[in-house]
């Protein structure tokens, strides 16, 4: 098995990160109801500390995702960029990788063409990442 490039590692981490972001957002929006329960000051403090940790992690993940999205938006080839955005859930729900054949159907290209544009997008993203290191 070939080693993954930096761009492939970055992109492969996006879908799970986006799922985690949505789960953390759900945790913050819908805490457990405490109807009729009197919490001790310690329990209230523990709950507040937990929410603070979740918010911190959510902020970090969201910032990392934002950096990834900004890098992808810098891919010079518009079609390659669109293929990468669709493939890695940067448009739409972001829960799943879109299969290449569905991208082909959406963009009206053959699977082979989609694979070429995908690789072109990976190559251009790797160049951007190498430029960022320097």
Per the domain annotation, does 109 fall within a domain? yes
Total number of domains in the chain: 1
**DSSP 8-state secondary structure symbol assigned to residue 110:** -
Burial label for 16, CB within 10 Å (0-12, 13-18, 19+), is exposed
Per the domain annotation, does 36 fall within a domain? no
Tell me the percentage of the chain whose pLDDT exceeds 70.
Answer: 90
Predicted confidence (pLDDT) per residue in 36-85, tens digit: 678 788 988 888 898 899 999 999 999 998 899 999 999 999 999 999 99
User: CB atoms < 10 A from the CB of 33, how many?
Assistant: 7
Per the domain annotation, does 125 fall within a domain? yes
pTM above 0.85, yes or no: no
Per the domain annotation, does 38 fall within a domain? no
Q: Could you tell me the residue range of the domain that residue 109 belongs to?
A: 6-31+44-133
User: CB atoms < 10 A from the CB of 123, how many?
Assistant: 15
Do 65 and 21 meet the contact criterion of CB atoms below 8 Å apart?
A: yes
Per the domain annotation, does 1 fall within a domain? no
Burial label for 81, CB within 10 Å (0-12, 13-18, 19+), is buried
């Amino acid at each position: 098995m070939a080693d993954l490039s930096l761009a492939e590692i970055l992109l492969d981490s996006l879908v799970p990160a986006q799922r985690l972001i949505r789960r953390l957002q759900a945790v913050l929006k819908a805490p457990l109801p405490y109807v009729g329960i009197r919490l001790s000051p310690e329990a209230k403090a523990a709950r507040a500390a937990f929410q603070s940790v979740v918010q911190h992690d959510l902020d970090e993940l969201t910032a990392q995702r934002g950096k990834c999205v900004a890098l992808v938006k810098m891919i010079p080839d518009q079609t390659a960029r669109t293929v990468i955005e669709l493939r890695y859930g940067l448009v739409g729900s972001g829960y799943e990788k879109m299969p290449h054949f569905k991208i082909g159907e959406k963009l009206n290209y053959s699977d082979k063409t989609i694979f070429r544009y995908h690789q072109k997008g990976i190559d251009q993203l790797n160049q951007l990442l190498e430029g960022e290191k320097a």
